[in-house]
Amino acid sequence: MVKYHDGHFYVFAAPRSNASQSVTFTLAGGRTGQVTVVDEGRTLPVTNGRFTDTFASATSVHVYRID
């Protein structure tokens, strides 16, 4: 799910299986920079419009702020 609020896009994501997994997201426009993982104290690099994150289990949910 994607929402726009206060000048930022937010991506809400959860895994599609019960196993730990790595997921790559693709952003329109081929941007480069970083995304912030909300309330987790970390950022992820965006290169050529893509970033990758890991979900530890089926109950993992991440919220990303596109800066």
Tens-place pLDDT, residues 3-60 = 999 999 999 999 888 888 999 999 988 889 999 999 999 999 999 999 999 999 888 9
Residues 6 or more apart whose CB falls under 8 angstroms from that of 41 comprise: none
Task: Give which of 67, 29, 22 is closest to 48, Cα–Cα.
Answer: 29
- Asked if the model's pLDDT at residue 64 lies above 90, the reply is yes
Note the pLDDT of residue 33: 92
- Would you state the pLDDT for residue 24? 95
